[in-house]
């Protein structure tokens, strides 16, 4: 399972650093797409449908007061390459040829194969980390809190066998893991801009026991990134929010083969607003992915009220929109 009990994720520079969005001369549309190419800083420490690579560790910041959005640049000025499906970069085009926030995590399009043994296959984990403590009185494993450079991560989990017996760690008897993650904190840049994040997620995975033929996943994740400061354009506030829901996802387990979902629904939402000198520009994006038992996942992408029907051929394909 994706970072279900890993607290080491806060140790990476990608989660801690804060970069700048250079607004350049891009149109408002291209700028909106740049804002949607990544997730709010630190969001990869939750359990969501977004690929971990979509967390550049950067807040999205305005540079010029021309009412548009610009390129999202990571540490050292590199351009963020969000909007990837399966780690493959994609052209932004009209905004409908990519999935936001770095694309889907590999578990959601068949990039993780299944084999015998603990820790194999999608949504499985075989470690709890050195900072995790099991309380036999509650049956809950607590990892953290761990704080680094202003961001604090706390994970709690309930690990159970088929018979419902609480466990201190995942092993061959584990059948379900219910995990709750929280990320919070404030990062101050050298130019005094401050970014405050508040994220949390809940995910339940069943069907982890040896001999299971499928896994079922349900979960939610929400996050907010708020940045305030002053640039050459004046005082600004930049806000990005994300809302992510996984409902009734079923992943068949076939030894030695890619195992993509056969049923279920994913809903991913992001909103971006930037206020510079009292003038606000806002954009929204929604992606709904539906699995129906075929090798084609259906996607409806809605950006600023305009919707398109798209598909992904499973496994490991890019979105194709009508």
- Residue 270: pLDDT band with limits 50, 70, 90: very high
Percent of the chain with pLDDT over 70: 76
Secondary structure (H, E, C), 3-25: CCCCCHHHHCHHHHCCCCEECCC
Q: What is the pLDDT of residue 130?
A: 66
Q: Could you tell me which residue, 66 or 52, shows the higher pLDDT?
A: 52
Per-residue pLDDT tens for 48-63? Answer: 999 999 998 877 776 5
> Which of 192, 202, 190, 183 shows the shortest CA–CA distance to 15?
183
Q: Could you tell me which residue, 147 or 79, shows the higher pLDDT?
A: 147
Which residues is 276 bridged to in the sheet?
A: 236, 279
Q: What is the pLDDT of residue 92?
A: 46
pLDDT average, residue stretch 155-175: 94
Contact of 135 with 142, CB cutoff 8 Å? yes
pLDDT average, residue stretch 80-97: 44
User: Quick check: 88 pLDDT over 50?
Assistant: no
Per-residue pLDDT tens for 305-318? Answer: 999 999 999 987 78
> Which of 187, 185, 304, 181 shows the shortest CA–CA distance to 244?
181
Q: What is the pTM of this model?
A: 0.83
The first and second tokens of residue 185, run together, are: 């904190």
Separation of first and last alpha carbons in the chain: 33
Per-residue pLDDT tens for 20-47? Answer: 333 233 344 555 567 888 999 999 999 9
């Amino acid at each position: 399972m994706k970072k279900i009990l890993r607290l080491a994720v806060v140790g990476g520079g990608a989660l801690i650093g804060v970069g700048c969005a250079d607004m350049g001369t891009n149109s408002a549309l291209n700028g909106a797409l740049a804002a949607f190419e990544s997730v709010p800083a630190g969001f990869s420490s939750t359990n969501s449908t977004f690929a971990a690579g979509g967390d550049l560790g950067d807040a999205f910041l305005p540079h010029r007061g021309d009412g548009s959005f610009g390129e999202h640049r990571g540490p050292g000025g590199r351009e963020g390459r969000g909007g990837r499906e399966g780690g493959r970069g994609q052209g932004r085009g009209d905004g409908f040829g990519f999935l936001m926030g770095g694309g889907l995590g590999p578990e959601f399009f068949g990039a993780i194969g299944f084999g015998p043994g603990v820790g194999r296959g999608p949504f499985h984990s075989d470690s709890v980390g050195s900072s995790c403590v099991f309380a036999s009185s509650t049956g809950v494993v607590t990892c953290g809190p761990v704080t680094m450079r202003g961001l604090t991560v706390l994970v709690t989990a309930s690990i159970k066998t088929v018979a419902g017996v609480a466990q201190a760690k995942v092993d061959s008897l584990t059948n379900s893991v219910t995990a709750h993650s929280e990320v919070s904190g404030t990062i101050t840049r050298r130019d005094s801009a401050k970014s405050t994040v508040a994220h949390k997620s809940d995910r339940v995975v069943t069907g982890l026991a040896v001999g299971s033929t499928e896994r079922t996943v349900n979960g939610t994740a929400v996050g907010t990134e708020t940045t305030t400061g002053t640039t050459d354009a004046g005082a600004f506030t930049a806000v990005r929010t994300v809302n992510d829901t996984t409902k009734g996802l079923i992943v068949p387990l076939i030894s030695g083969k890619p195992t993509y979902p056969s049923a279920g629904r994913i809903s991913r939402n992001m909103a971006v607003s930037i206020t510079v000198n009292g003038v606000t520009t806002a954009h929204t994006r929604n992606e709904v992915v539906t699995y129906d038992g075929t090798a084609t996942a259906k996607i409806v992408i809605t950006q600023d009220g305009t919707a398109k029907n798209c598909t992904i051929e499973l496994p490991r394909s890019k979105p194709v929109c009508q």
